[in-house]
Amino acid sequence: MTNFNPQSPESRSQPIILHPIGYVERDEGDDELSGDELRARPARIVLDPALTDGLLGLEPGSDIVVLYYFHRSAGYDLQVHPRGDPSRPLRGVFAVRSPRRPNPIAVTTVRVRRVEGNVLEVAGLDALDGSPVLDIKIHAPLFDIPSSTFPQRT
Amino acid sequence: MTNFNPQSPESRSQPIILHPIGYVERDEGDDELSGDELRARPARIVLDPALTDGLLGLEPGSDIVVLYYFHRSAGYDLQVHPRGDPSRPLRGVFAVRSPRRPNPIAVTTVRVRRVEGNVLEVAGLDALDGSPVLDIKIHAPLFDIPSSTFPQRT
């Protein structure tokens, strides 16, 4: 239990400091690729070796949610044309997945292909080479699939 | 483009500073509830009023991914018994959804019930009252559903 004081609105808006647990490593030249092309190629998550024991239970075929920092993103607009297409109506930054956002954190579900020591090889990751990784979580329908997060009335 | 230097491993592990975009507000007494009970009751995300325009496009029925900070979580173990049940075999912290993790950030998909100015009422959120909110993203199968993040060969 921390000394959080729910009476103090200030404590809700204090800066939060995170330390990357690892980074994304890609083959040379991958940085020229589109998001779709990045997802189609394997990537490696290189974990801080001190955290390797935290991978117990992840194996080829496991689906994981990867949180990483959009380290090359700078600034944001509150409303954007989705995918930069001016023919599409404006949407709020919280209704799109653009990297340009107040806190530029990516959330992407990927599949583990291989685990070797502190390195996870994954499929489906759109992160650029060198992206700091903030967390890895097993994918769980309870948290990640809309229809199971609350009672359905259909 | 930032001045990130991909040759420098240090830049991959620099601390990352985030500023909450809002906080979770719950009815009094909800803090005594279990995660399942929390999910079953509506909660409110109170956004920084300066960011209200970023909600354009979210409406009742929208599924959103909410990133919030486990502000009452402190410390972590690299391996744990899932849900604290000693009869279940140890798993790595990255293979469970425990709040006690190196970077205690929660990712939960919830459904919007109502939008009023800078306040979103949602269903399915397990956050405690006062939790700092870091990001809101529209739920998108491409990023959030395992089977669509890469070619299937089944």
Q: What is the ipTM of this complex?
A: 0.89
The rounded mean pLDDT for chain B is 89
To test the contact with chain B by mutation, choose from A94, A136, A137, A143 the residue with the greatest count of B C-beta atoms within 10 A, namely A94
pLDDT for B148 beyond 60: no
- The pLDDT assigned to A4 comes to 39
> CA dihedral defined by B18, B23, B29, B35, rounded to 10 degrees?
-60
Give contacts of A151 with chain B, Cβ < 8 Å: 40
Query: Is A149 a residue whose pLDDT tops 60?
Result: no
User: Does position B99 have pLDDT exceeding 80, yes or no?
Assistant: yes
CB pairs under 8 A between A and B: 240
Residues A128-135, mean pLDDT to the nearest whole number: 96
Determine the pLDDT at residue A152: 46
* Predicted confidence (pLDDT) at residue B152 exceeds the cutoff of 50: no
pLDDT digits 0-9 by tens, B45-71: 999 999 999 999 999 999 999 999 999
pLDDT at site B8 = 56
The Cα–Cα gap between B151 and A24 comes to 21
Chain A residue with minimum CA distance to B132: A12
Contact: B65, A149; criterion CB under 8 Å:
no
**Cβ contact A67–B93 (<8 Å):** no
Question: Which residue in chain B is spatially nearest to A107 when comparing CA positions?
Answer: B143
CB-CB under 8 Å, B135 with A79:
no
Q: Which amino acid is at A64?
A: I
Contact B135 A94 (CB under 8 A): yes
Cβ-defined contact of B48 to A13 (cutoff 8 Å): yes
Please name which of A104, A137, A110 lies closest in space to residue A126, comparing C-alpha atoms: A110
Please report, to the nearest 10 degrees, the dihedral formed by the alpha carbons of residues B34, B39, B44, B45 taken in order.
100
In chain B, the residue whose alpha carbon lies closest to the alpha carbon of A99 is: B137
Verify whether the Cβ–Cβ distance A14 to B39 is below 8 Å.
Answer: no
Of the ranges A21-30, A141-150, B27-36, B145-154, the best mean pLDDT one: A21-30
Q: What is the pLDDT of residue A32?
A: 83
Residue of A nearest to B80 (CA): A54
Q: How would residue B13 be classed by pLDDT, with cut points 50, 70 and 90? A: confident
Q: Give the residue ranges of DSSP H helices in B1-154.
A: 9-12, 35-40, 141-144
Helix locations, chain A, DSSP H = 9-12, 35-40, 141-144
Residue A58 pLDDT greater than 70, yes or no: yes
> A12–B132: do the CB atoms touch at under 8 Å?
yes
pLDDT of residue A13: 79
Q: How confident is the model at residue A10 (pLDDT cuts 50, 70, 90)?
A: low
Interchain proximity A69–B14, CB inside 8 Å: no
Provide the pLDDT for residue B92.
98
The answer to whether the predicted template modeling score (pTM) of the entire model surpasses 0.80 is yes
Chain mean pLDDT for chain A = 89
C-alpha to C-alpha distances, B148 to A37, A146, B61, B78, B151, nearest whole angstrom: 14, 15, 22, 30, 7
Return the pLDDT at B71.
92
**A24, A133 Cβ separation under 8 angstroms:** yes
The predicted model gives A106-125 an average pLDDT of: 97
Q: Which helix (H) or strand (E) holds A144?
A: helix A141-144
Among the listed ranges A26-40, A55-69, B15-29, which one has the minimum average pLDDT value? A26-40
Using a CB-CB cut-off of 8 Å, the residues of chain A touching B6 are 129-130
Q: How far is B33 from chain A (nearest CA, A)?
A: 16
